[in-house]
């Protein structure tokens, strides 16, 4: 096993990785920008290295500085967390070229899945069902019009290099297509430096259901069941559940068997998530994320595993040591993403936290880098805490989440805590009958 791991991230996920390392007797190296000198991940790590000024492109995305930090501290492996460099294939390549282990998949698979068109082609070759759409990249507006006529409106134009919901535009009719085509390409060019787009049928009432997988370097692949991430605003997740209130165990097992066989054929390694839209009992693949996800804790709570420890073990070359039949699912887990934003307008609200009090008690987990007196910097993602609960049943998990939200105190900044309280109290959320469009109606973004 590694003796020292560098964590190339910040915030709650840097802490999350540190905790797994600590319990495994692995020493940790934190890297940080000047804005994060007093951050929790820096305080808890065994060593820390300042890698640049506040702007992420000069610090958390500064490959040379991160590799130098690994070198001078004698780290053997690098965990990228999520966001930042976690899905950057060149970074993974450079890490390995400098003699460190990249705790994640191969650069080849990161590159393949990072191009959503290539990812869909790879999944099609493994007989994984896709959302109907264009056969790869759209070469012209003419072609976009032809495909839209064939698959019927509404359609969605999506960026091949897309992420974070950017470069995605809906056209409900032929009149809207030109605008959607133009805006999606402009956004994609600006955000990703690549204006390649493709088209999918825009599903009217799907759920977002994703499957957590893990592979060792010896050809063993398992899945840890599904997460339902249908509660979204602007294509971004706010609340996640494991399992999905809509799925049966048989449906999960069938999808899981197909996916794990496919990934084994592909030679995939480490953790990954396949995202699907699910409507009328049918799964349709949309993309694969080749990293640990924000919402991984709900899976950990129902499976009783530590995904980061598993990532470290397989990255060090260990075999999984268990089979699919050893993995069992117990109870129900829910995660609320608490962000430093106004709960009504979603305007960012960085600043000093005067009082922080984390909830506790049976079945409650808080992944957060907050502390009383900490100033949330304005330079990064607004996620400040993940409140995760586990209960014997979904109803118990909801009741537990409601009381944990009551107990939690984050004073000094605005947060989305009140929004989560409203969601958990809503009868339709409680019924489990919701789609990816439900939350936007709930917050008044659509009618």
Under the rule (CB under 6 A), what is the footprint of ligand ADP? 131, 156, 162-165, 168, 200-203, 206, 208, 232, 235, 275, 277, 286-287, 436
Catalytic residue among 16, 252, 291, 365: 291
Backbone φ/ψ region at 136: left (φ over 0), alpha (ψ -120 to 50), beta:
left
Query: Shortest Cβ distance from residue 286 to ligand ADP (Å)?
Result: 4
Chain mean position to CA 112: 18
Nearest to 338 by CA among 400, 405, 292: 405
Query: Shortest Cβ distance from residue 98 to ligand ADP (Å)?
Result: 29
**Choice between 67 and 203, CB closer to ligand ADP:** 203
Q: How far apart are CA 199 and CA 148, in angstroms?
A: 8
For the residues of 144-193, what is the DSSP string, one character each? Answer: HHHHHHHH-SSEEEEETT--TTTTEEEESSHHHHHHHHHHHHHHHHHHHS
| C-beta of residue 69 within 8 angstroms of C-beta of residue 51 | yes
**Choice between 385 and 436, CB closer to ligand ADP:** 436
**Choice between 225 and 359, CB closer to ligand ADP:** 225
Q: How far apart are CA 214 and CA 234, in angstroms?
A: 29
Q: How far apart are CA 79 and CA 101, in angstroms?
A: 9
Q: Is 291 a catalytic residue?
A: yes
Query: Shortest Cβ distance from residue 294 to ligand ADP (Å)?
Result: 11
Q: How far apart are CA 271 and CA 361, in angstroms?
A: 30
Q: How far apart are CA 83 and CA 56, in angstroms?
A: 11
* Cis peptide preceding 400, ω within 30 of 0: no
**Choice between 349 and 435, CB closer to ligand ADP:** 435
Query: Shortest Cβ distance from residue 208 to ligand ADP (Å)?
Result: 4
Query: Shortest Cβ distance from residue 163 to ligand ADP (Å)?
Result: 4
**Choice between 100 and 438, CB closer to ligand ADP:** 438
**Choice between 364 and 436, CB closer to ligand ADP:** 436
Kind of pairing between the strands at 332-339 and 383-391: antiparallel
Using DSSP's 3-state secondary structure scheme, residue 343 falls into coil
Query: Shortest Cβ distance from residue 357 to ligand ADP (Å)?
Result: 32
Q: How far apart are CA 79 and CA 82, in angstroms?
A: 9
| C-beta of residue 82 within 8 angstroms of C-beta of residue 292 | yes
Enter the DSSP assignment of 62: -
Q: Which residues are catalytic?
A: 291
């Amino acid at each position: 096993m590694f003796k020292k791991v560098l964590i190339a991230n910040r915030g709650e996920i840097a802490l999350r990785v540190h905790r797994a390392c600590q319990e495994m007797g692995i020493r940790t190296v934190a890297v940080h920008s000047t804005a994060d000198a007093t951050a929790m991940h820096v305080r808890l790590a065994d060593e820390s290295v300042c890698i640049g000024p506040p702007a992420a492109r000069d610090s958390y995305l500064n490959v040379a500085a991160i590799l130098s930090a690994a070198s001078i501290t004698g780290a053997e492996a690098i965990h990228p967390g999520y966001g930042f460099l976690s899905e950057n294939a060149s970074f993974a390549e450079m890490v390995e070229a400098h003699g460190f282990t990249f705790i994640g998949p191969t650069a080849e698979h990161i590159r393949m899945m990072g191009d959503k068109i290539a990812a869909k082609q790879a999944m099609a070759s493994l007989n994984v069902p896709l959302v109907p759409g264009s056969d790869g990249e759209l070469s012209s507006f003419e072609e976009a019009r032809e495909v839209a006529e064939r698959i019927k409106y509404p359609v969605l134009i999506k960026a091949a290099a897309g992420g974070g919901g950017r470069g995605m535009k809906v056209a409900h009719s032929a009149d809207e297509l030109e605008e959607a085509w133009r805006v999606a390409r402009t956004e994609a060019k600006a955000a990703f430096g690549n204006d390649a787009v493709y088209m999918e049928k825009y599903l009217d009432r799907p759920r977002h259901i994703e499957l957590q997988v893990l592979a060792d370097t010896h050809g063993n692949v398992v899945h840890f069941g599904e997460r339902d991430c249908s509660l979204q605003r602007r294509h971004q997740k706010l609340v996640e559940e494991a399992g999905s209130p809509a799925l049966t165990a048989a449906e999960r097992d069938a999808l899981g068997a197909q996916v794990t066989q496919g990934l084994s054929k592909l030679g995939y390694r480490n953790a990954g998530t396949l995202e699907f839209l699910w409507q009328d009992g049918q799964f349709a693949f949309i993309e694969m994320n080749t990293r640990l996800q924000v919402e991984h804790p709900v899976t950990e709570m129902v499976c009783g595993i530590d995904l980061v420890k598993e990532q470290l073990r397989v990255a060090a070359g260990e075999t999984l040591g268990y089979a699919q039949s050893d993995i069992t699912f117990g109870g129900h887990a829910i995660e609320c993403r608490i962000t430093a934003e106004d709960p009504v307008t979603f305007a960012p609200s960085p600043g000093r936290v005067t009082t922080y009090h984390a909830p506790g008690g049976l079945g409650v987990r808080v992944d957060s880098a907050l502390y009383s007196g900490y100033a949330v910097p304005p330079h990064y993602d607004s996620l400040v805490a993940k409140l995760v609960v586990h209960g014997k049943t979904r109803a118990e998990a909801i009741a537990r989440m409601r009381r944990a939200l009551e107990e939690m105190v984050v004073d000094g900044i605005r947060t989305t805590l009140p929004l989560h309280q409203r969601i958990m109290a809503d009868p339709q959320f409680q019924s489990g009958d919701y789609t990816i469009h439900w939350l936007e109606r709930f917050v008044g973004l659509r009618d």
